[in-house]
């Protein structure tokens, strides 16, 4: 094996979070996305990327396009809003808690049994 090749193991998982102070994802969007309009959009998801840079991506249902007959049945027309000027710490103030489990994927996490209770 070539020693110059660096293998990075990726672990994946699920995260759940609770927004703080009765805030909604729409509230976050209204404050940070100039073109966001509650009458047209409904925020569905937020992605946080932290690496060499911080990128916050919000996915919002486009209610106007949803009524468009050209959309494939069963598909949701979503607008992606990409924010690169926010710090992770400013985004985290919108949340009161996070719960995250990451796994190598070698085994189903639902099949584990903790033995040291």
Can you spell out the DSSP letters for 38-57? TTTEEEEEEEEEESSSEEEE
Domain coordinates in residue numbering, the chain: 14-99
The string of pLDDT tens digits covering residues 31-88 is 999 999 999 999 999 999 998 999 999 999 998 887 766 777 778 889 999 999 999 8
Rounded Cα gap, residues 87 and 39, in angstroms: 28
What's the confidence (pLDDT) of residue 14?
Answer: 87
């Amino acid at each position: 094996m070539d020693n110059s090749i660096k293998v990075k193991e990726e672990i994946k998982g699920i995260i759940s979070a609770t927004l703080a102070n009765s805030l909604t994802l729409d509230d976050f969007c209204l404050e940070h996305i100039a073109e966001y309009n509650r009458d047209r959009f409904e925020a569905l998801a937020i992605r946080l990327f932290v690496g060499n840079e911080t990128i916050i991506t919000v996915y919002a249902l486009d209610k106007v396009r949803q009524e468009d007959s050209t959309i494939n049945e069963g598909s949701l027309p979503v607008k992606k809003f990409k924010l690169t000027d926010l710090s992770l710490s400013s985004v985290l103030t919108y949340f009161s808690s996070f719960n995250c489990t990451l796994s190598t994927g070698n085994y189903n996490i639902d099949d584990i049994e903790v033995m040291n209770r």
